[in-house]
């Protein structure tokens, strides 16, 4: 279990750190962090610094803006304190956290920043950072996730990334990457910026491309309103559509079983594994965006995504020693394919739901866990759920049916079925489909796989198409699957995390893959170095008046 229990389910009436005000097509999101609202009681969240709890609320708000407020076309993110936008991640929180918590915190925060960028790029809901004061470290990284950054020019407010000189770590949520890859800051300027603790302000920040525009305090609100109006005019989101309320996620925890309507997680602590079962829809599902809006969050396409997302976050934060996820499905493949038809509709909610599944599946890709898909009789790996298998590090499929007293051959042989969804609907962080990533550099093999789209494949056929790792009969299954799980548990988790991340992200490097592969790997390493977290390290000495004592060896 983790150092503290983390629950990622929050509701608007429980927010402690953010204020959301919606006026017509523009939403204003103010960060006003409650200093006493931290997840632990050994630090205070002063000067709009944040911990994981602050970011859990932000993630929830970003989701609700996309689903519950179709009328919102521009989102202005600003600070709720005088002359402070955000001071970044709380240093005392980081200093007192376990290594695993620090890394999980950074990863989740990265994913939330990416969801903000995704809204600006694909949802017609553009985020603008109205930096009304100091934006340091993670505060500037929050601004960097927005499409446009506007800075008040009051001779005091600056943007900065002071982690290297002050804390001996790196900006944890993509700052270094976004400065050069997204904002196109020259590398010499980026180098100076990342080592200048006081940051850069005013017109120099514009000249260096660190912000888009500045205005005096008396003109700042006018500048923000003008830029928001620009994005409102360019958006294709509807003016008068009703949003879909994201109702509370119903979850039960009974010992080692976590239950939802469509997802069940069962933990086996002896093998350090979790069986995650996603079930097919029951009842008729909406086929059009309008019908999806009528069904709301109860529709399978929305409900299953939310429950799967919450299950993964629960395991990430609270079950760090459960290193292997066994991905299973149960139910009717035809029902899954019928439900996903709605995602092809040209409707704002259909688009949002498709984009949500894209983010949830990316969360699966980016989880530092061994992923094994087990395709058995009674499973429904088809379309969007076939995507879950394609995300796995290995996939095993039972050939034929069970021949034992427990199963009694009651279920027909398992099948695996691709749909159009697997070809382009859910791109990975590298910009490719999981199918294209699986066959990267092997165009003939990809063509074979694409030729069977729409066909229900038995185990041997799926193996011939390269869509599974192995087809096993029931005797081999009973012998090999437990051995495989036990073998995985015997390996170093650190080595597995590095190995899996290297294998999963082939082909083009994007800003996302840099942030998660390069930055996360380096941050993971640096967070363990004595220069940062040792008794004389920068995180421990910060704020004490004593300088850190660095080991000067370069490694």
Q: Which residues are catalytic?
A: 89, 138, 141, 163
**Which two tokens mark 445?**
């093999």
Q: What is the DSSP string of 35-95?
A: TT--SSSS---GGGEE-HHHHHHHHHHHHHHHHH-TT--EEEEEESBTTEEE-EE-HHHHH
Q: What is the DSSP string of 481-493?
A: HHHHHHHHHHS-H
- The pair of structure tokens assigned to 532 is 């940062």
Contact assessment for residue 126 and residue 149, using Cβ atoms and an 8 Å cutoff: no
For 77: left if phi > 0, alpha if psi spans -120 to 50, otherwise beta; the answer is beta
Q: CA of 164: how far to CAs of 31, 176, 191, in Å? A: 25, 11, 10
Backbone angles phi, psi at 136, to 5 degrees: -115, 145
Contact at 8 Å (CB) between 423 and 453?
A: yes
Buried b (16+ CB within 10 A) or exposed e, 262-290: bbbbbbeeebbbbbbbbbbbeeebbebbe
Angstrom distances, CA of residue 6 to CA of 10, 259, 318, 497, 539: 11, 17, 6, 22, 23
| DSSP H or E stretch at residue 259 | strand 257-259
Tokens found for residue 449: 């796989």
């Amino acid at each position: 279990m983790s150092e503290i229990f983390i629950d990622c389910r929050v509701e608007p009436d429980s927010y402690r750190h953010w204020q959301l005000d919606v006026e017509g097509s523009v939403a204003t999101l103010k960060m006003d962090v409650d200093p006493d609202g931290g997840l632990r009681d050994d630090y205070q969240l002063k000067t709009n610094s944040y911990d994981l709890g602050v970011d859990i609320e932000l993630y929830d708000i970003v989701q609700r803006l996309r689903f519950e407020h179709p009328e919102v076309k521009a989102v202005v993110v600003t600070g709720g304190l005088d002359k402070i936008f955000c001071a970044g991640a709380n240093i005392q929180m980081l200093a007192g956290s376990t290594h695993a918590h620090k890394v999980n915190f950074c990863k989740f925060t990265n994913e939330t920043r990416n969801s903000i960028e995704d809204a600006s790029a694909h949802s017609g809901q553009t985020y603008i950072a109205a930096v009304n004061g100091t934006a340091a470290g993670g505060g500037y990284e929050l601004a960097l996730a927005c499409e446009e950054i506007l800075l008040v020019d009051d001779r005091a407010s600056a943007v900065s990334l002071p982690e290297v000189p002050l804390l001996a770590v790196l900006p944890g949520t993509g700052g270094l990457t976004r400065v050069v890859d997204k904002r196109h800051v020259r590398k010499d300027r980026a180098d100076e910026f990342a080592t200048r603790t006081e940051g850069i302000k005013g017109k120099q920040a514009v000249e260096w491309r660190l912000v888009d525009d500045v205005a005096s305090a008396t003109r700042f609100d006018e500048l923000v309103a003008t830029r928001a109006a620009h994005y409102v005019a360019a958006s294709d989101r509807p003016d008068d559509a009703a949003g879909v309320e994201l109702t509370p996620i119903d979850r039960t925890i009974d010992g080692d079983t976590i239950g939802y309507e469509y997802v069940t997680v069962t933990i086996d602590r002896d093998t350090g594994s979790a069986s995650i079962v996603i079930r097919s829809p029951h009842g008729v599902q909406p086929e059009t965006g309008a019908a999806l809006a009528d069904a709301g969050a109860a529709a399978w396409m929305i409900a299953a995504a939310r429950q799967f997302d919450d299950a993964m976050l629960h395991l990430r934060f609270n079950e760090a020693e459960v290193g292997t996820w066994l991905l299973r499905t149960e139910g009717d493949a035809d029902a899954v394919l019928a439900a996903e038809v709605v995602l092809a509709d040209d409707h704002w909610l259909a688009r949002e739901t498709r984009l949500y599944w894209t983010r949830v599946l990316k969360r699966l890709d980016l989880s530092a866990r061994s992923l094994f898909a087990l395709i058995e009789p009674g499973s429904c790996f088809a379309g969007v759920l076939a995507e879950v298998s394609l995300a796995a590090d290995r996939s095993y499929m039972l050939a034929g049916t069970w021949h034992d007293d427990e199963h009694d051959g009651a279920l027909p042989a398992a099948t695996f079925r691709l749909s159009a969804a697997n070809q382009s609907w859910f791109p990975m962080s590298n910009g490719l489909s999981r199918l294209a990533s699986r066959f990267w550099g092997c165009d003939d093999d990809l063509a074979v796989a694409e030729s069977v789209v729409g066909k229900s494949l038995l185990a041997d056929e799926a193996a011939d198409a390269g869509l599974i790792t192995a087809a096993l009969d029931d005797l081999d299954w009973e012998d090999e699957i437990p051995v495989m799980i036990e073998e995985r548990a015997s390996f170093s988790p650190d080595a597995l995390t590095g190995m899996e991340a290297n294998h999963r992200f082939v082909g083009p490097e994007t800003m996302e893959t840099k942030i998660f592969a390069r930055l996360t790997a380096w941050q993971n390493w640096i967070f363990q170095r004595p220069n940062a977290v040792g008794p004389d390290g920068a995180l421990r000495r910060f704020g004490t008046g004593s300088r850190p004592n660095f080991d000067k060896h370069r490694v």
